[in-house]
Every structure is written in structure tokens, then in C-alpha cells.
Amino acid sequence: MANKKHSVSKEMANGCNTADAQNPRTSGLFSQFILLDQRWTNKWALCASDKSRYGVFRPIMKLLEISGHGVPWISIPLLLFVVSTDDYVLQMVTNLLLGHCTRAGMVTWIYILTLDPAWLPSLAATSWSLCIALSRVILGRHHFSDVACGLLIGYLQALVVCYFWLPIETCQNIRQVIFYKSAIDEL
């Protein structure tokens, strides 16, 4: 994964890399797609480095990047699972304790599908998700096709999570089993 990040950023710093399109094993429509994806990605990688044309906005893009990072999305739900006494919070945490665009797309769709919010909160959640996706391209981390696939996978994950959504009682039982076992282990 680290190699992909560096190669994408290197491509964006050096301009469009057409090696895949010139490969004799790829041809026609696929090579045209690769070229188009690389061309658009290079145009949108506005904050790929501090010295980029709009490098001054890089901290904002980094903040968006952090808002979709795995560490807060795993550590905060674990903490809430342990300390929360609210049944609804417990249910949300248990069902969501599962990259950036995939996670943002999934959380946005689960929010929209399970809470049935008004149009303004739905617009805000969708905007956050799209901003995270665009920040990945603007920072030079991924191509457009990467983030589009990530958002699609996030939507599909949301459908699966909503289908298997656990009721509050099941979430309470899971927490009781974990804490009961932990209490026995301590004795």
C-alpha cells in the first residue's frame, strides 16, 4: 500500500505516466481509460505537495484525510462501546465497528438509510463524504477511479450493514458477554 501512495504522488509530481497505456498487453478502451484517469488526476492533484500551486490549502485537505482515517474510526467506537450507557450509541457502535472513501461512503449511506434525516443533514453527510473523496485526489494519494470505486464499495458495505443491523438487545448482550468474561479473567 505504501508503494502505491508514493507512486501515485510521484506520477502527479512528474506529470502523466503513460507506461500502462503503452504496454502491449493493454489496448483500446482500457488504455484510454487509464490515460483519461491519469490526466484528470494530475489536473486535480492541486495540493500533492507543499510546493504545489495550491499547497497553502494542504492543511485543510489533511484535516479531511484525518477525518476519514481508520485510527479514530476504530478507537472512538471502541471507547464508546466501553463507556456509553446510551442504548442507541451502543447499537450504532456495535453495528459500525468495522480506506477513507469506502468508510466515508459507508457512514454517509448508513446515516441516510437508518436515520432517515431531513435533507439538510443528508446534504451535509454527502458533502463530507465527497470532500473526503476529492481530498484524496487533491492530495495526490489516489486517482479518480480509486475514489469512485471506494465510494461504490462503501455504498455496498452500507447495504450489507443495514441488512444485518443488530437490535439493541443483541448489542447489550454482546457487551455483557465481553465484560462478564473480562470480570472472570480478572479474578
Average predicted confidence (pLDDT) for the chain: 75
Q: What is the pLDDT of residues 93-116, one digit of tens each?
A: 655 544 677 888 888 888 888 877
Is 0.85 topped by the overall pTM? no
Indicate whether 143 pLDDT > 50. yes
Longest dimension (CA), the chain: 67
Give the DSSP per-residue string, 147-172.
HHHHHHHHHHHHHHHHHTPPPHHHHH
Q: What is the pLDDT of residues 41-56, one digit of tens each?
A: 888 888 778 888 788 8
Give the DSSP per-residue string, 7-19.
HHHHHHHH----H
